Amino acid sequence: MLKIGLTGSIGMGKSTVGKLFAEAGIPLNDSDAVVHDLYAGEAAPLVDAVFPGSMRDGAVDRHELGRQLALDPAGFKRLEAIVHPLVRKREDEFLARQQAAGAEMVLLDIPLLFETGAWERVDVVVVVSTDPQIQRQRVLAREDMTEEKFNMILSRQTPDAEKRRRADYLVDTSNSIAETRERVLEIVAELKMRIAKGDFRNA
């Protein structure tokens, strides 16, 4: 079973591209969605123990957690130590289900693919990118986003140029959704052809 790693910096359109792969019939494990689910359940009391007051009604209050992290950026390491093992467990469960179902390939949407070393667990890396000005416009249009918060997030992410350099496939979302979908379908078709040729014997 071929494992495709999908990544891209904030505002690049990674979530949209992930959905397009899913529309093309590729099973998707979305790490962001998994984190949202964990924050509403088993991770909440664990996070609250390290970041007191960050839990509201049994779920992590992301705004309060973000406020605490902005005051103490070193807290990201403590948060990752809690969340990453839980996310990895969900990923392993997803892979086991898809393997049992006979999936030819799967897509792992991992925002910090390079930063956490997750690229070593996948067979192919797809990077989503766009023009920096488009990225900035998209991100700053989000609710509760500020220049300071945007720059803090960027500082924790591998630079886009480095991601592009390390990509096996690149999806540029600067243009229309139709063009982005066409690029995704091209990648899926090429990967299926490469699987048929035996390019990924150990996948």
Annotated binding-site residue numbers for ATP: 11-16
* HEC profile of 29-84: EEHHHHHHHHHCCCHHHHHHHHCCCCEECCEECHHHHHHHHHHCCCHHHHHHHHHH
Buried b (16+ CB within 10 A) or exposed e, 110-148: bbbbbebebeebbbbbbbbbbeeebbeebbeeeeeeeee
Q: Are 177 and 161 in contact (CB under 8 A)?
A: no
Burial class of residue 176 (count of CB atoms within 10 Å of its CB; 0-12, 13-18, 19+): exposed
Binding site: residue ranges?
Answer: 11-16
CA dist., res. 124 & res. 66, Å (int): 32
CA dist., res. 4 & res. 119, Å (int): 9
